[in-house]
Structure 1
Amino acid sequence: MPAEDLDLLPLARVPRQARSREKVEAALAAATDLVRTEGVEALTLPRVAEHAGLSVGAVYQYLPDRDAIIAVLVARYHARFEEVLDGVVERVRRTASAGSPDPLADLLDEVERIYAEEGVARALRAVEGSGPAAERRAHKDRMTAKVADLLVLTGLAPAGRARGVARLVFTAADGVLHEAFGLEDDERTALLRELRAMLRGYLAPAD
């Protein structure tokens, strides 16, 4: 998410001046680094401020506590997932006429890459109640709509059933992917193989 999109994040106060926006970006970068290197338990206001080279007061007005920091990081990663999936939808839309020998494999390759790269997002998900419930639900609804578009574009579901099919596919795949990327390589590979088999069977055209 570009710095100019700080306005879209659930900050306690929206920074207006360039210097203030730089401080918020520094605090969020520090929080992300702490999660990556030490885990979510390291996300305290003093630790984030210290890691960012800022005073507690400079961070407090935008990110007053641990819950606020987690909520903003979750919202930022939701936006990241949605942006990437938008890119997948657009690429599929541009190449739909050419077709793909295995659109489901193409889609899952892309989604697995996203989950593999977003270790911080996976760590945040493990926190009970991470982010406001309304935001989590809105994110799932947006992701479901995007998956529905993909299913229609790739011919994996008819338009009339796409939304319901997409909700099941997203819910199942999201849970399995988060579980898979917490496992060792061999176990992860086996679980992802089973996910593909399950989705392929579910999305197979009826005889």
Structure 2
Amino acid sequence: MAGPEIERLIQLMARLPGLGPRSARRAVLHLLKKKDALLLPLAASLREVGESIHACSTCGNLDTGNPCAICADPRRDETLLCVVEGVADLWALERSGMFRGRYHVLGGTLSALDGIGPGDLNVDSLIGRVAQGRIREVIIATNATVEGQTTAHYITDRLQSSGVTITRLAHGVPVGGELDYLDDGTLGAALKARRPL
């Protein structure tokens, strides 16, 4: 139906999360209709990003500089280190504006089913950062999944002898959440993490 260039673009777009072949086809058609306003600027931006974005050698964040803007910011508390699974988690925490420390991106979670072991994650570099002695607290911010919990326990075991305080993000009732709509696991976590008023 379409030329090979357009079909290749559709196939590439279909690989993006949340887009299947039909959604990718609609997106490509929209881009082609708005060639000057969308397609050409998007292509230029993709090329620029592809050439200038790198993983930070300190934390693993994606940025144009190395170290990234977060690691290079002297206003950040270098004694607080938040460990996240991926860059998307780091960006989510940054959007909140609540954390003013530094980060460490693991690059995934431990998963025996997927064959992902400690050597496949950035755990050794985390241990090395803590061993430098400037960090006083490590906040483990892995997801509340089986893999995230397993990874959190593994990191805790590896850091136990370091003398740093190890904390975990709280799990439970979300702000604005109603108890009647929460699942049993969330309610259980909220009950276990209760605190005095």
TM-score (ref. length: structure 2): 0.30
More contact order relative to length (CA 8 Å, sep ≥ 6):
1
- Identify, as 1 or 2, the structure richer in strand: 2
Tell me which structure has the larger Cα radius of gyration. 2
- Identify, as 1 or 2, the structure richer in helix: 1
TM-score (ref. length: structure 1): 0.29
